[in-house]
Amino acid sequence: MITLPEDITLFCYIYFFCFLGAYSKDLVDTFLDKITEVLILKVLISSLGVTILLYGISEYLLERISYRFFTAICYTFGVTSFKVVVKYNNVQEFLLLINEFRKWRTGKK
């Protein structure tokens, strides 16, 4: 299967902003003395995980929102990427998150 150049460019675009978000989060944690150094491997892996998630829903999102807002979403997901990857590392917790979102969207408690 041949991947289109637009798809590769979009994936790199998403990864770049997710990486910036994750890196800036680690940099702030370093300045606040929460960690001793920026953990670049953690930043690379967590931003890759969130990038794959965002790339999967990018077609749906880009039909409804602008690139500027999409860039903000990518950066924000990058900031929270390690928390997302660690917290939702199994299917059961991810399904609980989807159910909570459904309840919130329909207004049921």
Tokens of 26: 């680690």
- In whole angstroms, give the CA distance from residue 78 to residue 72: 10
Instruction: Specify the number of domains making up the chain.
Output: 1
Q: Dump pLDDT digits (tens) for 22-32.
A: 999 989 988 99
- In whole angstroms, give the CA distance from residue 100 to residue 109: 9
3-class SS of residue 90: coil
Domain limits for position 91: 5-106
Q: Dump pLDDT digits (tens) for 47-92.
A: 998 899 899 989 888 899 999 999 999 999 999 887 766 665 566 7
- In whole angstroms, give the CA distance from residue 76 to residue 94: 19
Residue labelled with tokens 């944690």: 29
Entry pTM: 0.74
For residue 65, what pLDDT is reported?
92
* One-letter amino acid of 86: V
Radius of gyration of the chain measured on its C-alpha atoms: 16
Q: Are 79 and 21 in contact (CB under 8 A)?
A: yes
